[in-house]
Structure 1
Amino acid sequence: MDPILGRWRTSGTVVDRHGNLESEIAGTDSYTSLAGGQWIAHDVDVTIGGHRTLAHELIGGAHPDGGWRMYAFDEASEPGLMRLSSHDDDLLLLEGNGIRSWFHFRAGTRHMTTRWERFDGDTWRTWMSMRFDRIG
């Protein structure tokens, strides 16, 4: 998980079910190893289509299906729970609640991309694509 640690400039797009641009994403994401190195804190501060989104996530602890648990805290009344798993040295998969995201590190440690997909009952559809450029 070391490649994701650090501060990132975040950019991207949100598309509708037909692939048409709905909104743009801009802001920062920070991943910090917590004391003991068993957990990672992820702080999100982005604007999506003019709406500011703040979230805090905790990644760590074994997930029963393999990988790690990821707890997401945002404006919802209950935290979300997803699973993060490693599929290669440069690929992580985050999944749960009918969504999934592929994190790619193919460009090295200074850049990563994600593709977010939703399951519509028949197929997985891309709804968000993001780019992260390391700033710290």
Structure 2
Amino acid sequence: MDLSSLNFLLGTWQTEGRVLADDETPATLFSGTDTYEWVLHNQFIVHKVDVTMGDTKVEAVEFIGEFDKTGQSVKLHSFDNQGNYTLMHGQLDKTRRLHITGDKMRATLSVVNEHEMHATWEKSADNKTWLPWMELKLTKS
């Protein structure tokens, strides 16, 4: 895997989805945009998130780059408008699904075609037992 294998992400995507209900919170719809672009002489991809979840504005900036020592996964450094920082790792499989893992969260981003992607997120209290968390659809015109 090299960073150019993530070129399918590039562009501006219309994002819609929902945070699934759990014992503590009801389901929440969200919509907005996700933008991916090369920066710093194609050394990183910057991912900007601008969505509204229910009544809450959520913005994030993520830098994708820096391979692990084996070169099999890439690091994703994410910062949001709530002051949170998250480090995750991404691996692309042979079917062009991007598997993202972080502390107590993981996702699978699947390419439907050049204009559509789907993502499912799961969360965990212990990194062992996983529960469905979010579903989203990204479309690009």
> TM-score higher than 0.5 here?
yes
CA RMSD of aligned residues (A): 1.9
Query: Relative CO higher for 1 or 2, CA cutoff 8 Å, sep ≥ 6?
Result: 1
Q: How does 1:1-136 map to 2 (within 5 A)?
A: 1-17=6-22, 22-64=27-69, 66-77=72-83, 79-105=85-111, 107-121=112-126, 122-135=128-141
Write the letter of the residue equivalent to 2:132.
T
TM-score by structure 1 length? 0.88
TM-score by structure 2 length? 0.85
* Residue segments in structure 1 that go unaligned for 5+ positions in a row: none
Partner of 1:88, secondary structure, is coil
Structure 2: how far apart are the matches of 1:77 and 1:6? 25
Structure 2: how far apart are the matches of 1:25 and 1:78? 19
* Residue segments in structure 2 that go unaligned for 5+ positions in a row: 1-5
Structure 2: how far apart are the matches of 1:17 and 1:87? 30
Query: Is the contact made by 2:21 and 2:28 (CA closer than 8 Å) also made in structure 1?
Result: no
